[in-house]
Amino acid sequence: MPVDAELIAIAKLCLEIDPKDRPRDAGVLAERVTSYLTSVESRLRQAEVERATEAARAEEALQTAKQHELAASAERRARKLQMGLAAVVLCVLTVGGIAATWTAAEFPRTA
């Protein structure tokens, strides 16, 4: 399990061979440990904020993808409807043209 370098430095300071190099009393050590814990809490909060931000971005991307898919689906339905209507109009015009041609051939005008 990895250990923070700052925590290792505090432990090494307490284990110095020469007593003059060690913290002079527990108050100094308590300040260092408190400072270390504050920095750890700050990093944890920052990591939590980053995770929440990333989760929000992922959710936003998912919603955007869903919206694009819905828009594409609606566009496909509109195109199918348009093509169906065009086919119906073409059929009506074709049948009308055939009927007009047949009527003209069967009943010529006598003027």
Tell me whether residue 13 is exposed, middle or buried, using C-beta atoms within 10 angstroms of its C-beta: 0 to 12, 13 to 18, 19 or more: middle
- Tokens matching residue 109: 């005008």
Q: Say which residue the tokens 């069967």 belong to.
A: 106
Mean predicted confidence (pLDDT) in 101-111: 83
pLDDT digits (tens, 9 = 90+) for 15-44: 999 888 888 889 999 999 999 999 999 999
Domain boundaries of the chain, sorted by first residue: 5-106
Q: Classify the C-alpha dihedral 15-16-17-20 as positive or negative.
A: negative
Quote the pTM value: 0.55
The predicted structure's pLDDT at residue 1:
66
